[in-house]
Structures are given as C-alpha cells and as structure tokens.
Chain A
Amino acid sequence: MNKLIAFFQSLKLTVVLLALSMVLVFAGTLAQVDQGIWTVMDQYFRCYVAMIDLPVFFPRDLGIPNSAIPFPGGFLIGLLLTINLLAVHSATFKVLATGGRRIAGLVVLLLGVLVVVGVMFGWGTASVAATEDDAFWRVFLRLGRGSAAAVVLYVACVLLYSRRAGMVLLHGGILFLLIGEFFTALFAVEATMTIKEGETVNYLDRSQQMELAIADTSNPEFDTVTSIPQRLLKDGALIQAEALPFDVKVLRYMVNSTQPQPLQNVPEGIRSGYPQYQGYGSRLYVAERGEASGAAAGRNAPAVDVELIDRASGRSLGRYILSLWFYPNFVNRSWDMPTTFSFGGKDYTAYFRFKREYAKAPSGHAYSIKLLDFVHEKYEGTQTPKDFSSRILLVNEGDGVERELRIWMNNPLRYARRTFYQSGYLPDDGGTVLQVVRNDTWMVPYLACMIVFVGMTAQFVQSFNRYLRRDAR
C-alpha cells in the first residue's frame, strides 16, 4: 500500500501523465483529418482507454494498414492526475490547526462548499433569466459570485492551514476545474430548437444522438411514437418493439449519407445496383459516404437502410432508406419528407431524426416556446449580418410561467437548467434556430478561476509581506 501511495505521490507520475496527454491531444488532433469531432472526442478523450489509429500519424497516401494502438484515454489521464494531485497535496499540506480553530475551520469550509454549490446551481437567482444588458457586466457579476465563494474558502484554509492557505486554495481550484470538466464530459447535452415564426415548439433535437421514430398515426386524437435509439441500430440487428406489429431489420447504418437527388439523374451504371426501396428511396438516390472530417467542419447526415418484416408471417413489408436529410429540422425546414406506410389497417410515419427530447422544467412540468418575431438586421447594402434576435413567448402552465423574452447574440436565455443561444435562422428569415445547452457545471470555470486567483493573490501578498519585513530588518 505504501508503495502505491509513493507511486501516486511522485512528481515523475505528473510529468509522465502530462507527456501522455500531449501525445493524446496530438493524435486526437490529427485524427480529425478523417473523422468528425464527436467521434474523436469519444474515441480519444472521453474514455478510459483510447484506441489510437496508427495511420493518423502518417500521410494518408502511404496506405499504412489500419491498426489501433491502446493508449491511456482522456478520462484515465485526468483521473490519475487528480489522484496524483490529491496524493501530493495530502502529504505536503497537513492540517495544522487543532481544537477550536480546527472545528471553526471545518465549519467555514462547509459554509464555503455550500456557497460554491449555491453559485453553481444559481440559488437565489431568477429561474427565467434573459438579459437586455451588456454581456460584460453579466460576466463580471459571475466572477464576483465566484470571488465570494473563493474568499469564504480562503478563510477556511487560513483557519486550517495557516500560512499555506494560499497554496492549498490554489491547488483546490485546479482540482475543481479538472473534476468539473469530467462532469461536463459526462452530463453536458447539446441540442437545438427550430421554430418558425408563429409556431410553438415543445421539444429539443439532441444534436449528438439519433433515433428511428415510428409513429402510429391512425388515431385521430394523438400519435403513438415508438423511438428506437441509435445504439440499437447496428448492421444486421433485428429490432422487436412491443408496440409495433412488425420487426425492423437494420441492413446498414450509415454514418453519413449523400444529399438525396432524383434517381433519374443518376448514371445508369449506378442506378442498376441501387436497392429496390419503397418510399422516397424508390425515386431518390441516397448513398453512404465517408464521415465528415472535424477539420472541414462538415455535418454528418446519418441514414439507415431497413427492412420491415411482418412478425407473424416473417414476410418482408419492404425495404426503406431513411436519411437525416428527410428530417425537416436538419434542412432548416426546407422540406419535410416523412416515410409513410400502412400495415394491419394502421398508418405509420417514420423519421430517422435527432433524438427528440420533450421540454420539461425541473419541476416536471412541460414548457414550450413560441416564436413571436425573428429579426435579422444586415449592414446596409450588404448581406453581412448585424444582429439576429428572437422574440419568444415562454410558457410553462404547470409552473405559472408566461414570459415574453428576447434571445439575441451573446444574450442567451437561461431556463430549466438549460441555456438557449441564438444560433441560426431559417431561409428567408422565416424562423429561428436556438442552440440549447444543458451543462450543470457551466459555472465551474468561473468559480475555479476565482478560487485560483484568490489563492495566488493570497500567496503573493504573503510572500511580498515577508520580503518587506525582511527588508525592514
């Protein structure tokens, strides 16, 4: 055990881990020549063991065979660095206070932690926050809140560690930043909300997750939607959902697909090898293509090639291609291409789309956003955007919220633990695209910065005083 502790306390470990992280960042950056940014994030950084593809280090035309090398992943390096920091810390900085002072220190420390948690989750701030004022003061205020928390923690450190308080606080701030990023990686969710002028929308499109949604539209009152998550859509998988009278056989999951084009425009040679699809695939050509590279910042339009099979008889009900290109919110509402079919006297509509999440406040009540007006000002005589803004009506009947708000560049709306940013617009300024980010740890960088700042300042002032005193003597 002592050997293990000594291992984790060694500075050599810190250096090795930092060197490994440099190699990982280097490989991850090169990998984005071929792969999308989120694939690289998952394969290299947001994992314990990264599989580095050997060819990323070489010019692609050398044709290096594709072999994956196991390497410590981002999570593992971060975790070991955290343990390393904690281990060194516990050995170097001992609690010096005893008796009443120690108790007082622990009480203030607890208070400090409470303030940090309070600042992180916005206790005491408005539940609906949209601003009309300058972004500068908002950021300033956040740093101010962070400083308040940092000062309380500093007092606790002074009580517990006396003269080494600054150093302890400073290391604590760095540790907090490391842990914060870990939770961001695990829990942050990015989504978009596309709303036409005058339309009310009550759901978000999760940008990094897909689903095959099959809706039974036979009931005149409501639709019954069966959502098959992306992770089940693997080549060759046979998906049996209880609510559907047929099975879905996945023939091919395509990471990216070409924009559909009329089949008659495709050269005869390609057309003859194209599968006999039902639905849109019978007249449109959609083909698999390579993943958009992170370097080119292209978008992927995944697609699934599926066959529907009658569960009772095992008979094929047709083969369909469903592409994200058919989903209206992917193409900024330029078109809407639901795949429709009937079976067993019921009508169905299917989309391969971003995972849909119905908007809910933490209270559990649903909310919706109506776009009242979208303004897109351009610099006179040019097409250069000057300002976009969305005037919206936020309604949550359960919580008694009905507010008219404005979302514009650098002035997002914060509501229901989510932040709504102005991100894009629909053709002819007919509507808005909001980026919706859920990141409960978004205040951590502000807090950590101020904790490190207060710690460094304290340390500096203390050293400076010592120098002055020595000088006076």
Chain B
Amino acid sequence: MRKSLFTILPVLLLTACGREQIETYQVPKETPAAAPVPQMTAPEVRAAAPAGKGFSADVPATWTEKPGSGMRLVSYSIEGTSIDFYLISLSMGDVASNVNRWRGQIGLAPASAEQIAADIRVFQADGRAVSYAELYNPETGQGIVAAIVDLAPQYWYFTAKGTADELRANAADIRTFLESLKIP
C-alpha cells in the first residue's frame, strides 16, 4: 500500500498535453463580422460648424460632439474609448501653474520650471499661440492631454482625460484637431 503511493508520482509527472500542430480544414464562407472599413483608417474629417461655441475645426470622424454643460462650452466623446475631451474658458492662463495642476490630477508630483518648459510644445493655430502638453503617469496608467489657447483676456482650455493608453493612441488626432482650430 505504502509503496504503491510512489507510483503516483511518475503517473502525474507524465501527464502531458498534446502539442498543437498546423491544421488545415474547410469551412463554409463567412459573412463579414463587422463593417469592413474600420473607422480608424478613415482620414476623413468633417468640419464642424461654428455653432455658437466660437470656433470651427476639423473633427475626426470617430468623435461625437456633445453640447456643453456647466462650464463646458463643448465636449467630445471618442469612439471606442472612455476619453473625456472638453473645452472650458477661463480668464487666467498661467501655463506653469496649470501644468502642475494637471500633474496633480493624475497623481504626479509638481515639476520644476525647466521640466515644464520641456513638456510644453507651443504651436500656432489660426494665429493664436497654443501651449500643448501630454502628461502620463505610468504608475496609475492615467493621463491628460491638454492645451491652452491664448485668446487674452480669455484663455481656452482643451482637456482630454483618460487612460494613458487611450490618450496615446488618440493624441495625434487631438493635436491635429487643435492645429486646425479656426477662431473667428
């Protein structure tokens, strides 16, 4: 009885799975499982009407515009993501303090002035200076892509919040959108 126990060991050790091989088989024709052209390949953009929100821009086809509410002048949802992208207008526009505010929102420590200067990219959209930053916290996986448009005395804040992965995948679209801003 006792010795028979020790035969269990090799039996269990020999339990091996069948190895997978290349297989060839025939199946009936399938109908496409979804729309053949993915939205993401569509470089097409539609120009948004300047519907009372004070600007127009090239909006990617995967974005859906939602009316503003509260302080938000306008919001966009981006298909297939949980990104929250919106515009608010404020009367102050200090870039450094805002970058540190955004850093705080995603759990990053405040950065030095040099660090902030390195993080910020400034470009022109319709003759206005746009200060643009992409901030990601690798530890929490959260991020912010934000831009301040200088319309002194007003400043427009475009802010996209979401997971770092989703933001990275969509940052190029957001940047393109910002570059295409037309502010009458």
Contacts and interface: CB of A to CB of B under 8 A. Distances in A.
Contacts of B118: none
Interface string A255-299: 000111110111000000000000010011000000000001010
A83 B8 contact: yes
Interface string A49-62: 00000000000000
Interface in A51-91: 79, 82-83, 86-87, 90-91
Interface of A: 1, 4-5, 8, 48, 79, 82-83, 86-87, 90-91, 182, 186, 196, 209, 215, 217, 220-232, 239, 241-243, 258-262, 264-266, 280, 283-284, 296, 298, 328-329, 331, 333-338, 358
Contact of A336 (B22, B25, B35): B35
Contacts of B38: 260, 334-337
Contacts of B30: 223
B115 interface: no
Nearest to B16: A186
B9 A335 contact: no
Given A87-B5, A224-B26, A328 B34 contact: yes
Interface in B12-35: 12-13, 15, 17, 19-30, 32-35
Contacts of A79: 9, 12-13
A336 B32 contact: yes
A280 B37 CA distance: 11
Interface of B: 1-3, 5-6, 8-9, 12-13, 15, 17, 19-30, 32-41, 43, 79-80, 141, 165-166, 168-170, 172-173, 175-176
A335 B39 contact: yes
A259 B169 contact: yes
A231 B172 contact: no
Nearest to B33: A328
A395 B36 CA distance: 29
B132 to A, nearest CB: 13
A231 B24 contact: no
B9 A83 contact: yes
A90 B22 contact: no
Given A262-B40, A331-B80, A335-B39, A87 B22 contact: no
18 contacts: A79-B12, A90-B5, A182-B12, A225-B26, A226-B23, A227-B22, A229-B22, A259-B165, A259-B169, A260-B38, A262-B41, A264-B43, A265-B172, A328-B33, A328-B34, A336-B34, A336-B35, A336-B38
B22 A239 contact: yes
Contacts of B32: 336
A232 B22 contact: yes
A209 B23 CA distance: 15
A227 B23 contact: yes
Given A182-B12, A261-B169, A335-B35, A223 B29 contact: yes
A135 B165 CA distance: 38
Given A328-B34, A336-B32, A336-B34, A229 B20 contact: yes
For B1, B29, B170, the residue with the greatest tally of chain A CB atoms inside 10 Å of its CB is B29
A83 B12 CA distance: 11
B113 to A, nearest CB: 24
Contacts of A223: 26-30
A51 B100 CA distance: 42
A457 B172 CA distance: 66
A298 B3 CA distance: 48
Nearest to A242: B24
Given A79-B13, A335-B40, 16 more contacts: A5-B2, A8-B5, A86-B5, A91-B2, A182-B12, A221-B28, A222-B29, A227-B24, A229-B22, A232-B22, A242-B22, A259-B166, A261-B40, A265-B173, A335-B38, A337-B36
